[in-house]
Amino acid sequence: MTTSRADAVHFPAGAEPDEVDLLDDISLPAAWTKRWAVEPSKPTLWDASCGWVTRGDLARRTAAAAGRLYGAGLRKGDRIILSAAASVDLVVAHVAALRLGLIVVPVNGAYQRAELAHIVGDADPRAAVVDNPEWVRWLAELAPEMTVVSPRLDLDDAAAPSLDQMDSRDPALLGYTSGTTGVPKGAVLTHGNLLAGAESVRIAWRWEPEDRLVLALPLFHMHGLGVGLHGTLLTGASAVLLNGFSPEAVLDAANAHDVTLFFGVPTMYTRLAQSDRVAELSRLRLCVAGSAPLSADLHRRLEEAAGVRVLERYGMTETIMLVSNPYDAERRGGTVGFPLPGVELRLAPETDEVLVRGPNVFAGYWRRPEATEEAFDEDGWFRTGDLGELDEDGYLRLRGRAKELVISGGLNVYPREVEDALRTHPDIDDVAIAGTPDEEWGELVTAWVVPTTGRTPKLDELRSYLEGECADFKHPRLLHLVDELPRNALGKVQKHLLE
């Protein structure tokens, strides 16, 4: 090996990193259709209602679905919301939208009306694919001209124009996230970003066409969508789609379908470790964890109980995957490993914030030039808002976050949103939201409340107050009543002093 690139550890023996072009295929749809033309009868995706569908089925069904979307008036660059339980139908709708050049806006189905209204107002979508009848009503009120359909795309058949014509720089997806601060913003991921994000883990994790993934993650976040689904289709491998997670469902599917891969958030691994069937994980070739920290202790317990050396990796909505433990070398608990193929990483002097560059890094926030400018430093490095430290031999440890964020069960909760919603409660004078460490959930959303004189709000009351305002995973699970919040001279709550 002639190179000293930090990502070199991820390439298989004999590969020359400098000769690998992650964007060779230009876009995911172009790469996928190339795979589908070979061995069209190979099973690719399974769900409980369709059974197995093949590469050829996907090629035909996504072309037909793209025709329907085109017939409904959707054109390149139009935004389309996708929010439904994981299913083959949803995948067909997603792939069809990308093949047509639409910009997919995946949205968490637990969102309430106000959260959905923000995204509709910001992304200005022309269509939505949803499976929740309540959302159909809300969308009709929020945007009466919008085409709203179920994942079966019950629209008239029509021929699509030529498909898969995108450039790597064309926008493909808006991933809503609050970034380091402020309101949820759409991170614009290009076709090149999506391709690089999936290609880097295909190489690093030795993902092969023979692999089969059990995919129990939702398809509206990067972990399930940008890694699990996109990687499966890029590799020409296969996946079993489960609608929701339980250790039993995952292990049953693994046994029934000869699964080789599992990707999950740490909460899923905690529950697997508690299962008396945990040893069954040993039949898998590779178990990957991410989206939140996996403790070194859980890493060790899984190795002891199941002989599984879980491979932890680190990513973000804005960048897809960034850093991963190596497949062939030591998978070190408590660390996230080395920059993935194509990713450059450094720590900012003094603050130790993780800064990154690479073909996977997003193009900016949708229609928010100022937020975009703030997100990158003067040399074009993206500021992740995560704080890191490097072991002597280069493994990255995430040491905390500069950004205000609570991660519960792999889902992000931005304190500001919950604080703003609670501040209007009559019993609340002042409030701060932060995370409390928890073995199962990683962090529990916790409220520190200064009550209005003479009142003592209860946790249940606060939770019901938030019903309809924000998704239930954002509701506080713990409540502390305090006389005042620790504020600095500028009036900002010093969250590290909350206890």
Residues in the site for ligand AMP, rule: CB under 6 A? 177, 222, 290-293, 312, 314-317, 336, 384-386, 398, 401, 407, 412
In terms of C-beta density within 10 A (0-12 exposed, 13-18 middle, 19 or more buried), how is residue 125 classed? buried
290 binds ligand MLC (CB under 6 A): yes
245 binds ligand MLC (CB under 6 A): yes
DSSP H or E stretch at residue 414: none
CB 438 within 8 A of CB 432: no
For ligand AMP, the closer of residues 88 and 433 by Cβ is 433
Residue 365 has phi, psi (to 5 degrees) of -90, 135
**How far, in Å, CA of 52 to CA of 240, rounded?**
9
Q: How far is the CB of 251 from ligand AMP (least distance, A)?
A: 23
Cβ-closest position to ligand MLC: 409
What residue has token string 């959260």? 115
Q: How far is the CB of 460 from ligand AMP (least distance, A)?
A: 28
Query: Of these partners, ligand AMP, ligand MLC, none, which one is at the site of residue 418 (CB under 5 to 8 Å by kind)?
Result: none
Q: How far is the CB of 221 from ligand MLC (least distance, A)?
A: 4
**How far, in Å, CA of 86 to CA of 14, rounded?**
38
Query: Of these partners, ligand MLC, ligand AMP, none, which one is at the site of residue 323 (CB under 5 to 8 Å by kind)?
Result: none
For ligand AMP, the closer of residues 236 and 385 by Cβ is 385
- List Cβ neighbours of 125 (8 Å cut-off, separation of 6 or more): 78, 79, 80, 81, 105, 143, 146
**How far, in Å, CA of 221 to CA of 83, rounded?**
10
Report residue 110 as tokens. Answer: 């637990």
Q: What are 461's strand-pairing partners?
A: none
Query: Of these partners, ligand AMP, ligand MLC, none, which one is at the site of residue 265 (CB under 5 to 8 Å by kind)?
Result: ligand MLC
Cβ-closest position to ligand AMP: 317
Write down how long the chain is: 499
For ligand MLC, the closer of residues 58 and 250 by Cβ is 250
Query: Of these partners, ligand MLC, ligand AMP, none, which one is at the site of residue 267 (CB under 5 to 8 Å by kind)?
Result: ligand MLC
Look up residue 20 and give its amino acid.
V
Pick one of 473, 479, 480, 495: the residue that binds ligand MLC (CB under 6 A): 473
For ligand AMP, the closer of residues 240 and 398 by Cβ is 398
Report residue 215 as tokens. Answer: 């995919």
231 binds ligand MLC (CB under 6 A): no
346-375 positions binding ligand MLC, by CB under 6 A: none
